[in-house]
């Protein structure tokens, strides 16, 4: 009861920014609940979501196509396991791309004898 009205309003604004952050994580990444219940599990899921959002926003910024972030997330989900030239796809997502036979894939078990 000793806090000033200004202090309380600043705390509320900070709390509201946290609420917006979690709403965006839920909306963009479809996180409905936390997988684990320990503090460590929750922190891992939050950090993973933060890194994912930062990567998506970076891809949006470097793309020449005017992506909306939610559309970029949806299209990346659809093309997650497709071999593409990412920069070309980000710039011109609706153009037919030539076959990519020059992509080099490493061999996982190259030095092992079975």
Q: Is the pTM of this model over 0.75?
A: no
C-alpha distances (whole Å) from 26 to each of 29, 94, 107 are 6, 28, 37
For position 99, what pLDDT does the model report?
64
pLDDT for 55-65, tens place per residue?
Answer: 999 999 999 99
What's the rounded Cα separation, in Å, for the pair 7 and 102? 60
CB 69 within 8 A of CB 25: no
Confidence of residue 2 (pLDDT cuts 50, 70, 90): confident
Q: What is the distance between the alpha carbons of residues 66 and 43, in angstroms, rounded to a whole number?
A: 32
SS3 96: coil
């Amino acid at each position: 009861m000793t806090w000033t009205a200004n202090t309380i309003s600043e705390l509320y604004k900070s709390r509201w920014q946290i609420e917006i952050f979690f709403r965006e994580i839920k909306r963009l990444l479809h996180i409905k609940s936390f997988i684990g219940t320990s503090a460590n599990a929750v922190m891992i899921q939050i950090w993973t979501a933060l890194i994912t959002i930062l990567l998506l926003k970076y891809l949006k910024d470097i793309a020449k196509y005017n992506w909306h972030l939610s559309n970029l997330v949806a299209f990346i989900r659809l093309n997650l396991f497709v071999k593409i030239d990412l920069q070309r796809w980000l710039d011109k997502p609706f153009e037919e791309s030539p076959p990519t036979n020059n992509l080099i894939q490493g061999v996982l078990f190259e030095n092992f004898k079975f």
